[in-house]
Chains A and B, each alone.
Chain A
Amino acid sequence: MENLLSLFEYRFFQNALLAAILTSLLAAMIGTYIVSRKIVFISGGITHASFGGIGMAYYFGINPFLGAVVFAISTALGIEWIATKGKVREDSAIAILWSLGMALGIIFVFLTPGYTPNLMSFLFGSILSVGTADLWILSGVLILTIVFFILFFRPIVYTAFDPEFSKTRGLPVALVRNIMAILIALAIVLSIRTMGIILVLSLFTIPQNTAFLFSGNFKPIIFGSAIFGVTGSLIGLLVASWLNIPGGAAIIFVLTLQFFLIKGIKLLASQKK
């Protein structure tokens, strides 16, 4: 216990805690949108395709974050475009972009001469190595997302709920959905830093589903997701440090446990009535 408390004095651990909080808040908003629109699979495609960008960025010696952002945004807009134009089956298109991105990533990482980046940290995240620059970027995107959600909350919800009807009411449906696609891509790429490609979607889906147990309305679900996401990832991070296991995996374990515990309690409570 003493050791655990002393962790809080270290810069790297403070950064990790901050990253967990900021990512959870970002995921609360974006994740509620993803889950409500049932585009979790699309988000999976965006996440994995971004690995292609990371690999290419390493090969050409540029910032891997930048490469991931470019790949993620083009995938997000690409899928949105395919979905509206509808010439290819959407789920097939997602699967193609998903695996193509991963393949490109692996090829370019393999071709990169000399130092090969730690693949594990991209796949599973490395929350303990989050730097100050990462935190600044994360805060920036978080603020951007909060402002967009506050200003355009109703158009975001309405165009997600019933795009055809929204069109008849003169809403710029395509614009709102494209901006959301970009925000989804940014949020996912930034969360890859802490959670890794394989684990990141959990942060965008598990707390939301826990919040769904309490509400059937968009706004309360965002707040609920924020509460469950922050508490779950903080507890997960502490458990990880205590047991000396990877942070991302521990966070997911705690989030899932939280979901089933609450679901179980609610189930028992409803049976007692």
Chain B
Amino acid sequence: MIDEFKEEFADDPRCVLNYPVEVLDAVAPGELDDIHLDLARRRFASAMADIPFIAQLALLNNIAEVSAFDDLVPLLYTHEVFKSYPQAWLENGDFKRLTKWLGKLCAADLSQVDTSQCELIEDWMAALIAQSEIDVQISASADGKSAFMPRSHGEWAFLQQMNLKGLRTAKNAQGEVTGLEPGVDRVPLVYLGARRGARSMSRFLDLYEETYGEGLVDTLFENSDSDLLSLAGRIREASRKGEAVQVRPELLARKDDIARINADRPARMEALMQRMLNDYKGKRIFCFGTMQLVYDLAVRFREMGVTGAYAPDSLFMCGSGFANGVEPPNWKQEVVEVLGIPESAIRVGYSMQEALWSMNKCDHDRFHMPASIIPYVLDENDKPLPREGRQTGRFAFFDLLPDTAWGGFATGDKVTVTWDEPCGCGRRSAHLDSPITRIVTTQEDKITCAGTAGALEEATDFLLKS
């Protein structure tokens, strides 16, 4: 089965979707090196022709061909790439130029996209979806500038299929696949975020309802507004620099809506809590949130005297860490008791929106590399560390799955990778220590920026005063 997988993978890496995790996990590091390099070489060759940014980076770094993994390192995107447009274009609503810029970051041809009717970011994103293969992802960054990541419809669809596979092949405490049959299993999915809008999660929620039935998804908010998200970052940065912020009149016109959404916030949180307590009690549910939110929920339930809230084959998927970066001791035990689920039903994942993969923590508390990436650990000068032993540094990867977007990305995460010592859980892949921290927080005397949530409130305040 492994040989069959390798053969197919060499031809089409997206076949990872069709193989059971047991097969993927049985591939030893190094075994895929030749295939990885060959796939990367092909990806580079086509990108040189159809991704202008890659051609530019290759030129600046004197890279003509990829003959070793390290040749790809200067070609990795960073978060900076996705916000390398001039801010004035966004403020003036110059979506024509933004489209041209975006087209240079990926292999899609965006030259025919008509943005003349676009006034807001939301309009622009909709125009791109309607007229091109690109569905852009927006995110706010600490320096106040919005990042726009181009991804094709096909790439998003693949990612959602991978996520769905994760749910379908989940195992219970006894090691049996719990399964998820369309038309048979109607499992409510609770997401502690917004149903629609700026986050990539909304695309998965659509697929879930398409596959398992309308009305199964329950979220905290209706919509996460891209324009407001972008404005929030801008205001924070402008107030830091003492600059005036220009707000487009189209956005100003919507300030009453925004005020209402903001005022509803606590009531919505409370209403979801009540639904989780009453409507879903004793049922099998899937819940997606951060560790912090899931923990907060459990603490609240415990205070109310609730134990064993849900069916044991429920799943709780937790991304990112705790608000202050510190895991409360025994948090998992506390949570499982209240929620009535086995510890294995709490899945702590590591992923990011730039990735078409996610890693789940194994029983030995380690994240395992998926077969579909070439991982890197970079030193403080962004030079690759040896692919052996244990290495600590900035995590980067070349994702072999995207064909429109560029798969190379250097994260802001600090990781420790064990390359060649197999994990006690039995998987053979290289693996990461947990927890994973941000690069910046490891430097002393650096004060980190406020989170997005706080900034959004600032933005709302600002709009209401305008």
A and B: real partners? no
